[in-house]
Amino acid sequence: MRKCLLPLLLAALTMTFPVLSADEEAAVPDGVICPPGGPCILPSAGGAAAAEAEPLPANLPDTEPEIRQVDLEKEPWLVESVNLPANHPTLKRDKVVFADKLLWTALSDTVEKVQVEKWLTPLPPESEMAGKYILIEVWATWCPPCRRSLNYLNWLAEHYKDDLVVVAICEMEEEKVRSMPGNHKIDDVRYSLAIDTGRRFANALNVTGIPHVVLIEPMLGGVIWEGMPTMPGHELDGKTLEKFFAAGKKLRSAGKFPAEPLIKFEVSEPTDEQRATRRHHESDIEDKAGEPSQD
């Protein structure tokens, strides 16, 4: 059995963040911690509570006080960095992956097939997926940074459609996806969107912080990037993706890619026991930018 290598590293930021609209206030399950600057994290993953986390300083130093200028039309992966001062501690953290580390391993070593309960927007046929990179994000409607990441997924699906298949798997029911707060509606979705109320793929990867992404290359089905795609200072940005895709184009032109995708998806009904693994009991919490939801 794969051993979880990732302790929970929570930081409760005490400085003030921009006030968001009422629509951006979320219902987060009891016991889940969503501090600014990282994922929403499940306390069951490591037993660390917010009170036990080392807080970041309340007062920023006087140096570099300017606000980072972010154009989300051009750099949507910076959504969690909007209005952060250039010297904000969040931007100086080490990268943390809130899941088992799968980097440079074949995804098939962990899951034989990616199970989903229902597709809300279709998955491309396998003939169209062959030779493309596959990005899979797991998320929940109650998770503020997850919802903010969805516009980035749209951008990826539109800008890199020749190289990339984007898949998002939500652990909540279809009606919650269709009625979630914010301005990202299902009619706007340009990627393949599924629900799985059994949380099977996320649990197989031992994901404890969402949103969580794995990026899989098409030659061997290996994981080449993992983590929160919008984590400040460690975003999965366009420059990184284009380096991957440039290498992929060379392999494709040399005829090195398999004729069918190595990552397989399957629609099936989760069991009641699998559904019970979700954190679906909701309570109100203020929605703040910067952190993934620790699941």
Distance CA 186, CA 125 (A): 20
Q: Where are the alpha helices (DSSP H) in the chain?
A: 126-129, 144-159, 174-178, 200-204, 238-253, 272-275
Token digits of residue 133:
């990179």
Instruction: Give the whole-number percent of the chain exceeding pLDDT 70.
Output: 76
Give the type of residue at 32: V
**Residue 54: pLDDT band by 50, 70, 90 thresholds?**
very low
For 157, which DSSP code?
H
Other CB atoms within 10 Å distance of the CB of residue 64? 11
Mean local confidence (pLDDT), 198-215: 97
8 A C-beta contact, residue 213 and residue 167: no
Beta strands in the chain, from DSSP E residues, in sequence order: 26-29, 40-41, 114-116, 118-119, 133-139, 164-170, 192-195, 209-210, 212-216, 223-227, 265-267, 282-285, 293-294
What's the pTM?
0.81
d(CA 136, CA 215): 7
Fold topology of 107-275 = Glutaredoxin (3.40.30)
Other CB atoms within 10 A of residue 66 CB: 8
Only one residue has tokens 């660390």, namely 48
pLDDT tens-digit profile of 210-227? 999 999 999 999 999 999
The pLDDT, as a whole number, for residue 17 is: 33
The token pair at 101 is 């580390």
Nearest alpha-carbon partner for 56 in 26, 84, 19: 84
Q: How far apart are CA 217 and CA 106, in angstroms?
A: 9
CA gap 165, 197 in Å, rounded = 22
pLDDT of residue 153 exceeding 60:
yes
Residue 60 has a pLDDT of 53
| Secondary structure (3-state) at 172 | coil
CA-closest candidate to residue 208, choices 94, 52, 50, 43: 43
Percent of the chain with pLDDT over 90: 60
Name the more confident of 250 and 31.
Answer: 250
Instruction: Tokens 């209005």: give the residue.
Output: 83
Residue 183 pLDDT level (bands cut at 50, 70, 90)? confident
Task: Give the pairing type, strands 223-227 and 133-139.
Answer: unpaired
Query: How many Å apart are CA 290 and CA 38, to the nearest integer?
Result: 6
User: What is the rounded CA–CA span in Å between residue 2 and residue 100?
Assistant: 8
- Residues in a beta bridge with 266: 115
Mean pLDDT of the chain: 82
In this prediction, residue 61 carries a pLDDT of: 54
